[in-house]
Structure 1
Amino acid sequence: MMKSQVALLYVLIIVSEGSAQSLIPRRSVSFSDVNLKLFKQRNFDSLSSLLVREDIGQLFIGGRGKVISLSLDDITKKTSEIKWMVSSGEKSECLARGRSIEDCKNYITTLHTLDDSRIFTCGTRAFKPLCTHLLFKEGSVTMETTTQEGTGRAPFGPHEDFASLMDDFMKKRKVFMRTGSTYLSTEDKISWFNDPIMISINAAETSKSSKYNEDDNLFVFFTEIAVEERRSNLRLSRVARVCKKDLGGFAILERKWTSFLKARLDCPFGDTGSLSLLQGVFFLKDENNVTESLFYTTFTSSPSIVSTPSSCSQSAVCAYKLSDIQQVYRGNLLNEISPGVWVKDVGTESYTYPRSCINDEMRAKGVKTSQNIPGKTLEFTRNHPLMEGVVTPITGKPLLVRSMAQFSKIVVDKVTSLDGQQHNVMFISNNSGWVQKAVWSDVDGLRIIEELQLFQDPQPIRFLQLSSRSGQLYSTTRTAVAQLSVRDCSRYRSCADCLIARDPYCGWNRRTGLCAAAAGASKLSMIQNLIDGDVGTCPSSHLSKQITDIHLTLDVAQFLPCNPDTNLPISWRFSGSILKPSPRHTLLSQGLVLKPSLTDQGLYTCETVEVVKGRKHRKAVIQYNVKVSEGENYFQGVAVYILASFCMLCVMLITYMYWKQKPQNHVGSSSVSYASIEQLE
């Protein structure tokens, strides 16, 4: 019975290893090994807003009843704190309306920088939103006594979805609006918005790259219940576009958007029938040509009732080019011929507006603003908000898909390598407190360089912001803030590891003999190869080999562990030759089970294997000098057998925890040597 159980255990581990090897990051770094700074304060939780101010070197966080400023260089240094509570009367009135004690407090949900350096701030204030301004002067924060009505500028309660852009563009659950002197909102029709959940608002200065000086665009990302699908309550991902200078119509669509169009956002992944929904958006602007700018997005997918029993949740990253989105809006619109039935519009009228925002051609015809748009055109716009075309990702498919993951936020950094090339490095957070660092190229596709556990307890990351100038990443959960240097290269302990990882931030410093940040360095002092990770330029290494002597008993199985500091697959060599599976040699993801005969004495080497551009890199992790002897007595053999079985149970537990949570990093594991050979076809 014992032998059959152990055999089954071997199969499970080997199958698990092979099924997900291509999906895991190159390296996983647990919380205890991540070099980060953490801010957490007693009685300060429900963090609901975050603002990075590079100009004054401050990080502002808003939560329940207060705003705190931290040093941008070191968030463990609190520079100021200001409280903003609700009065007892406001709290009593809120409780009388049936709200909970916690919800009847003031949650700071909005922090935006104004042109005069003041911070526009709004709070829920017991379901009566209110706004004011904060000033940061001489190292402390003060609050102005004047306030503004917060309805439309902030959510009513702490659990409402909400997003805003500091150009007075706001979004509540049912309405997308512009506040201020030229108030505009969406039409109160489900064909425009059907129970939307806001994700992001982004402004694009499209006029700079427009042939006819077209007005700038705003892009609104959200999910909503589909009006064009007959499946009830089917939620789809959308991107809407409005013209930034829209003033509303005259008589028709007065104080309403006249340029609102929306299209489906497609990120194809998951099983047939699964639902993928937008979670996060990052707008990476192209300073030379805005139409080449990219929207990086995260999606999650949950199995539907028609999925197979083996289906599981998945997440993906998709990227969309701004010009591709614009092209969809120049296409055909859908027409609702009966409730819930939408078909391609085949009307004889072909309206330029709102397919294009106002441009020089329209201005030449007397259409200077949206209030000059003819009523017939506005009436058409009111009844045709939905595009026929679907916005597809730049590659036609996701850049990344991972199973058993719940991606949330994403930020992207443009990194210039030593050869002058630019690389887009993505930081993708999930709902377990981890961030993945990945880079994508047309040649290699997407590589996950590493994943980092930023918070010790598994919890969703709510905010993720990057300071490209200082190279710092800031993230928050509901209770804590973490600061991570994206240019930390100290985890690469050798020149070979530094180059093979192909991390755009890192290079090997010839003078210090360390892997260090490449920013600002010269080619003379730094080695970097992001094309194929060639280690031929590395200085010769004279690391002493760490060999462990081990004595085994004839025909008694024993587990030889191998714990590399990466998630790369391992292989074994015996006396210089590749070790193949056999009745006496069971190869596992974290070691080798050896049931030796007298001919199995010799040197066993465990090494990681990494293939880059057809070149196979081998890194020796640990070596065992195995000596075999006949057992002294029966009881000794039984004892060793029991110990080996216990080791196998440990392996099973480790493997289970790896898939259930995350693989643990083993920084400091012995690194023996590197070798590099061309991969044979």
Structure 2
Amino acid sequence: MKEKLPKLHILAFLLAVGGLLAPAGTSADDITRAAGPGAEMDSDAPAFVTSVQGLVEAKLGSAFSQDGLRNFSRIAVPQNKNVRFVYVAAQNQVVRLSLEPFELEKRVTWSTGTTDKTLLQQCHIRGISMTDCSNNHVFELLISKEKLLVCGTVDGRFNCSLRQVMQPDHSLDSFGVQLGNTDNRLAKAMTMEDRNVYIGAYLTSGTDPALYRSSLSTDEPAVRTSNEVQQSRTLKPIYQPAKFISVHIIGDYAYYFFQENFEEMSTCGAKSQRIISRVARMCKSDPGYGFYWLSFSKSRLICAQGGNWVRPDGPGDEESSAFYYDLLQDTYVTDTHIYGLFTAAKSGIKASAICGFPISTFNKVFGDQTVRIKHWDYRKGDVPYAYFTDARDRYNRSDCSNLRLRQDEIATYTSNNRFYFLKSARVIQDTNEPLAAGRENWRRLLVTRVPSSQPDFQHTVAFVVTESDSIKKIILSAGSRCVLEEMQLDKSLDGRINDIQLTQTGEHLIVSTSSRVLRLPTSRCGRHALRTSCLAARDPHCGWNRAAFACTVRPANTDQWEQDISPQHGRVCPDRSVPIDGGWSDWRPWQRCQPPRGSGGGSGSVCQCRLRLCDNPAPNNGGRQCGKFHDLLSEVQTANCSLMAAGAPGTLGAPARPAEHPGAGRTLGSEPGPARSRGQPTAVLRARGHPARRRFATCPTAKTCTCQ
């Protein structure tokens, strides 16, 4: 082989390549509890744990990378299901990847960085780092119908370019965006519909949080939340610190989701230290008055667990015994709901939850003209005391067709009603408990609806990205903590997950990481060989097809397709009482290694080795392991044992190239191996039992070596 692979002893190879080395300080009991078949499972623990790299090597997933491309970030998926490609940003490049096969179709350069010292100095004077001034990057990709909007930096300034989805090479139009936040790691929320862009971000000064609408047409003015100096008796539209999460266009309205300081708790002159989640709603057609929204209003977004917390239609104690997930991290919109992913705000507590909010609830809350008004009482000493009362907003901010102010309304609105934007009612989840919860921090959310075996019923499935950059598949049901599957990234290969999106058909996840773009399956029904394990998995994507005698996705005719999932009867989590037999994974790529004792090679010999694991699926709940006698967890195949010396590949003194045709180096009970040199036979080493307790026995040449 041309590339020199590191030498590994067979045992080290087995443990390192298989990912089976336990961390330092881990006891044997810890290992047994963590990995042994039938081990006690935590309610948060996934039914299946899968390596993303293993999926790629098994051809169940795909990966794209190319020299000169790194830090893949935003992903844009066309809305047309007949368009089979996606766009991905990579620093100052935008690439278009076809889905079948998953490969590069087109590559477009956004803008090269400047080296002009004068321009760099002018950029740096504006408070922008020299790195950001000299390195332009794309920070947003948006698709609306047939248009692609690319937004990025040019010499430290923000700029957007409108292009055709099918022809991204040429810009149709460009416009500047006045964003003071030049740190690409900080959140900006953006979306686009027709020729309007809706943005939640810090504007020019960098200390001015705003919800903003900008038109790509020069004849339409921009509209934003007020930034005037507020009187002490009024509320501000947005309080710092603010974090912008997302923007969605639903019907006639634009919904902005963000975090801000909990002003209602600032009652005695001191600023509240609590951060909560908000949703603001404005009419898309809002003409504005003095460049400010006429329809702006906001409400608190509540996701809570336990206790006697407030319902939309009744009283309750705000600071009850409920546990509040205060910090919204991501949102996802379906045809009936807006789903939110929240984390706990309390220091030292790692907890996440997914809550669902019907769109009808937003209409009810924002259609109510009852608002909260802030008052000050100066009679109780030197420190003024703030309190809130309810009032009625005489201006209907939800009536999008009649937003323009009449002449007789201007005085009343500008003096009073413009501050009547904090709704008394809160937007609260539609279930008593979160739809899913976990004892770790989650940071990204996707939701899909999956048709079930029952007519007119759909399961709701979420994919979440965790703080450790794994992807968890969860079925959403009130009070559920069920993780169906977890896909784990190899940090050495991928680094960090930057974005994740579903393809138009929902069959794949597109994941951008620091070094490559991944296409991963949303389901793997074929790993269940038996009806019992297929039904026990309770994966909404899968069911037992009696006609095909296989575990499959939902067929067109569901008469012979069955599932065992029933949220009404508590059958949501995988049934861990059903034994799951192990199955072999595909062989991993060949690597150089040292031969085992007795395999025919001396101390200076080198072999080719490859590994497969009993993890497709892994044995669970007392299920059988792999192999003829059901006692194996892994298997290593060796071939090409030859002396280490200078020489061309395939000749005496150097390992041969892998075989390019089936059957070369085949040994009974093994997959085809690379072509042999010096007539060395292929040996298969099988590992039995738990990996921490394996040791290799001496094995004769051309015999099967068994770890004992």
TM-score (normalizing by structure 1): 0.66
Of the three residues 276, 279, 282, the one matched with 2:326 is 276
**In the alignment, which residue of structure 2 is the partner of 1:314?**
351
Whether the aligned pair in 2 keeps the contact of 1:103 and 1:158 (CA below 8 Å) is no
Of the three residues 160, 171, 183, the one matched with 1:144 is 171
What is the CA–CA distance in structure 2 between the aligned matches of 1:387 and 1:544, rounded to whole Å? 55
Of the three residues 393, 405, 409, the one matched with 1:351 is 393
| Mapping of residues 413-428 of structure 1, within 5 Å | 413-420=448-455, 421-428=457-464
Letter in 1 for 2:238: F
Whether the aligned pair in 2 keeps the contact of 1:201 and 1:218 (CA below 8 Å) is yes
Cα shift at 1:447: 3.5
Note closer, same or farther for the CA distance 1:141–1:239 as it changes in structure 2 (3 Å cut).
Answer: closer
Say whether 1:235 aligns with 2:238. no
Say whether 1:226 aligns with 2:226. no
Q: Deviations over 1:633-660 (max 9, x none)?
A: xxxxxxxxxxxxxx99959xxxxxxxxx
Of the three residues 222, 239, 243, the one matched with 1:194 is 239
**In the alignment, which residue of structure 1 is the partner of 2:518?**
482
RMSD: 4.2
**In the alignment, which residue of structure 2 is the partner of 1:326?**
363
Letter in 2 for 1:176: L
What is the CA–CA distance in structure 2 between the aligned matches of 1:26 and 1:504, rounded to whole Å? 14
Cα shift at 1:191: 1.8
**In the alignment, which residue of structure 2 is the partner of 1:59?**
86
Note closer, same or farther for the CA distance 1:523–1:166 as it changes in structure 2 (3 Å cut).
Answer: same
What is the CA–CA distance in structure 2 between the aligned matches of 1:48 and 1:30, rounded to whole Å? 22
What is the CA–CA distance in structure 2 between the aligned matches of 1:477 and 1:158, rounded to whole Å? 15
Letter in 2 for 1:51: A
Letter in 2 for 1:501: A
Cα shift at 1:368: 5.9
Cα shift at 1:267: 1.7
What is the CA–CA distance in structure 1 between the aligned matches of 2:297 and 2:486, rounded to whole Å? 38
Of the three residues 64, 67, 84, the one matched with 1:39 is 64
Say whether 1:412 aligns with 2:447. yes
Query: Which runs of structure 1 show a deviation greater than 6 angstroms over 4 or more consecutive aligned residues?
Result: 11-20, 270-275, 563-569, 621-624
Whether the aligned pair in 2 keeps the contact of 1:132 and 1:143 (CA below 8 Å) is no
Of the three residues 76, 94, 109, the one matched with 2:123 is 94
Say whether 1:244 aligns with 2:280. no
The secondary structure found in structure 1 opposite 2:132 is coil
What is the CA–CA distance in structure 1 between the aligned matches of 2:532 and 2:84, rounded to whole Å? 36
What is the CA–CA distance in structure 1 between the aligned matches of 2:138 and 2:384, rounded to whole Å? 39
Cα shift at 1:14: 6.8
What is the CA–CA distance in structure 2 between the aligned matches of 1:178 and 1:564, rounded to whole Å? 51
The runs of 5 or more residues in structure 1 that have no matched partner are 1-7, 206-215, 286-292, 305-310, 535-540, 546-562, 571-605, 609-620, 625-646, 652-681
Q: Deviations over 1:267-288 (max 9, x none)?
A: 2259989873110000111xxx
**In the alignment, which residue of structure 2 is the partner of 1:77?**
104
Range that drifts further, 367-376 or 169-178: 367-376
Range that drifts further, 61-70 or 386-395: 386-395
**In the alignment, which residue of structure 2 is the partner of 1:590?**
none
Say whether 1:298 aligns with 2:341. yes
Say whether 1:24 aligns with 2:45. yes
Percent of aligned pairs sharing the same letter: 21
Whether the aligned pair in 2 keeps the contact of 1:129 and 1:155 (CA below 8 Å) is no
Cα shift at 1:316: 1.3
Q: Deviations over 1:307-365 (max 9, x none)?
A: xxxx6411111111222233333163222113996544355xx33534x5117xxx7xx
| Mapping of residues 356-435 of structure 1, within 5 Å | 356-358=397-399, 367=402, 369-370=404-405, 374-403=410-439, 405-420=440-455, 421-435=457-471
What is the CA–CA distance in structure 2 between the aligned matches of 1:525 and 1:382, rounded to whole Å? 61
**In the alignment, which residue of structure 2 is the partner of 1:162?**
188
TM-score (normalizing by structure 2): 0.64
Cα shift at 1:43: 3.4
Q: Deviations over 1:601-640 (max 9, x none)?
A: xxxxx359xxxxxxxxxxxx9989xxxxxxxxxxxxxxxx
What is the CA–CA distance in structure 2 between the aligned matches of 1:21 and 1:568, rounded to whole Å? 17
Cα shift at 1:52: 0.8
Note closer, same or farther for the CA distance 1:225–1:449 as it changes in structure 2 (3 Å cut).
Answer: same
Letter in 1 for 2:143: T
Note closer, same or farther for the CA distance 1:264–1:9 as it changes in structure 2 (3 Å cut).
Answer: same
The secondary structure found in structure 1 opposite 2:212 is strand
The secondary structure found in structure 1 opposite 2:263 is coil
What is the CA–CA distance in structure 2 between the aligned matches of 1:492 and 1:19, rounded to whole Å? 22
Cα shift at 1:151: 2.4
Say whether 1:127 aligns with 2:156. yes
**In the alignment, which residue of structure 2 is the partner of 1:172?**
201
Cα shift at 1:461: 2.8
Of the three residues 503, 512, 527, the one matched with 1:491 is 527
| Mapping of residues 434-445 of structure 1, within 5 Å | 434-441=470-477, 445=480
**In the alignment, which residue of structure 1 is the partner of 2:7?**
none
| Mapping of residues 640-651 of structure 1, within 5 Å | 650=692
| Mapping of residues 449-528 of structure 1, within 5 Å | 449-457=484-492, 459-469=495-505, 471-518=507-554, 520-524=555-559, 526-528=561-563
Whether the aligned pair in 2 keeps the contact of 1:36 and 1:485 (CA below 8 Å) is yes
Note closer, same or farther for the CA distance 1:91–1:483 as it changes in structure 2 (3 Å cut).
Answer: farther
Cα shift at 1:161: 1.8
Cα shift at 1:515: 1.8
Cα shift at 1:39: 2.0
The secondary structure found in structure 2 opposite 1:44 is coil
Cα shift at 1:295: 1.2
Letter in 1 for 2:248: N
Letter in 2 for 1:521: A
**In the alignment, which residue of structure 2 is the partner of 1:679?**
none
Q: Deviations over 1:406-444 (max 9, x none)?
A: 2111111122123322121111112222111122346x8
Note closer, same or farther for the CA distance 1:159–1:126 as it changes in structure 2 (3 Å cut).
Answer: farther
Whether the aligned pair in 1 keeps the contact of 2:448 and 2:460 (CA below 8 Å) is yes
What is the CA–CA distance in structure 2 between the aligned matches of 1:326 and 1:165, rounded to whole Å? 21
What is the CA–CA distance in structure 2 between the aligned matches of 1:327 and 1:342, rounded to whole Å? 28
What is the CA–CA distance in structure 1 between the aligned matches of 2:363 and 2:405, rounded to whole Å? 19
**In the alignment, which residue of structure 1 is the partner of 2:317?**
none
Whether the aligned pair in 2 keeps the contact of 1:37 and 1:76 (CA below 8 Å) is no
Say whether 1:335 aligns with 2:373. yes
Whether the aligned pair in 2 keeps the contact of 1:39 and 1:75 (CA below 8 Å) is yes
